[in-house]
Amino acid sequence: MYGYNDIGIKVFQNGNEKNTGVVKYKTTMYHGLGGPSHTTPVKENFNYDVSTGLFKGYAVFIMYDTAAFWAADYDYNSEFGVDSAVFPLEFNSLSQILVWDNTFTQRVYILTLLSSLSPVSGLNELKVMLHETSGFQVYNELPNAEMFIRPQLISTGQGSDNNANPVYLGEGIYKGTVNFTMPGEWYVYDSVKYNGTVITKSPPPKFKFTIN
């Protein structure tokens, strides 16, 4: 679906299931046959997970367009694979992905909401993933950035207390806490500092939530 997806892959060769090695997964979005194409952020190596029996990783599908189509390349241990297998992509209205460029670093940044996709009144986990790219073909998880969040009730402009800025957990993921103190529509601004440079614009990119 549009947004962040946990992905698990099973590999068989001549009917024998693989439980070692590594799977590489690459997805490409084609805007029409022979038209422009780009890839998406995916986990670099899908390693075998014993508890689920799957080669596990993720993909962030950054666009949804019914006029475009998606294809995936799968590679097992550089031994064999499947090229350009077309797959359908569904829309998820709860997914939120913020994309912006920075002319100083000459990079595009992608901030993906992992949770909570549908927050409630009060304290909620705010888990996001941060990537950079320079040409929408190769993406890197960005480690050790500093994030500063600011919730704002849109109707009045008021903020809230008891928020916790997202801190780095590893693998491009940051986790914090956001406090929605009353029902209504809220923005959550997220300014991001990386390697001593504020990479977000002013005002910072923002997620939007409706709290019931």
Binding site for Cu ion (CB under 5 A): 29, 63
Closest approach of Cu ion to the CB of residue 172, in Å: 21
CB of 59 to Cu ion, least distance (A): 14
Nearer to Cu ion, 25 or 136 (CB): 136
**74: Cα separation from own chain's centroid:** 20
Degrees, nearest 5: CA angle 88-113-101: 90
Give the nearest distance from C-beta 63 to Cu ion in angstroms.
4
- The residue number whose beta carbon is nearest to Cu ion equals 63
Question: Considering the complex, what minimum distance in angstroms separates the CB of residue 65 from Cu ion?
Answer: 6
Residue 111 one-letter amino acid? L
| Helix/strand/coil percentages in the chain, nearest 5 | 0, 60, 40
Closer residue to Cu ion in complex, CB, 29/149: 29
Cβ proximity to Cu ion, 63 vs 154, nearer residue:
63
Prior bond to 203 cis, omega within 30? yes
Output Rg (C-alpha) for the chain, integer angstroms: 19
Query: CB–CB of 23/46 below 8 Å?
Result: yes
Q: Which amino acid is at 186?
A: W
Q: Where are the alpha helices (DSSP H) in 48-89?
A: none
Nearer to Cu ion, 136 or 194 (CB): 136
Minimum separation from the CB atom of position 3 to Cu ion (A):
14
Tell me whether residue 29 or residue 98 sits nearer to Cu ion (CB atom): 29
